[in-house]
Amino acid sequence: MNLTHGSGSIIYCTTCAQSMHTRCVPVILQYEQATFGYGGVYEFLNIKFGGTLEIKDHPHRLSFVQGVESDGDCSNSNCGEYFNKLESGLIFKCLECEFALHYECVSSFAC
């Protein structure tokens, strides 16, 4: 079923009782097909991705997404995470360049 929401369409799945933006479907499929040993998209089932955030010292807004392997390492030079990799974590990512931060690292860049 397709519904209109804001400026985009939403698809609703009656089988799994989930709804999603049509532009998010390819990203969700990418996570479901990933093989990084975590719960995949289901690990963050109740988290709404796609929000944006403005931080100091970066010219573009960051999007709230689940990290994938191609996101590389956290852009915070003082990152305190045991693994600096962004894969499979909650991250804020610039869609215009390669800047990305762990969810936990964003507070050090707050406006």
pLDDT in tens, 3-21: 444 556 888 777 767 777 7
- Among 59, 55, 51, CA closest to 24: 51
Lookup: tokens for 81:
């995470």
pLDDT at residue 65 greater than cutoff 80: yes
Q: pTM higher than 0.75, yes or no?
A: no
Domain ranges of the chain: 1-33, 36-111
Q: State how far the Cα of 44 lies from the Cα of 34, in Å rounded to an integer.
A: 14
Tell me the CA end-to-end span of the chain in Å, nearest whole number: 40
Q: State how far the Cα of 55 lies from the Cα of 107, in Å rounded to an integer.
A: 9
pLDDT at residue 58 greater than cutoff 70: yes
* Range among 4-13, 41-50, 102-111 with highest mean pLDDT value: 102-111
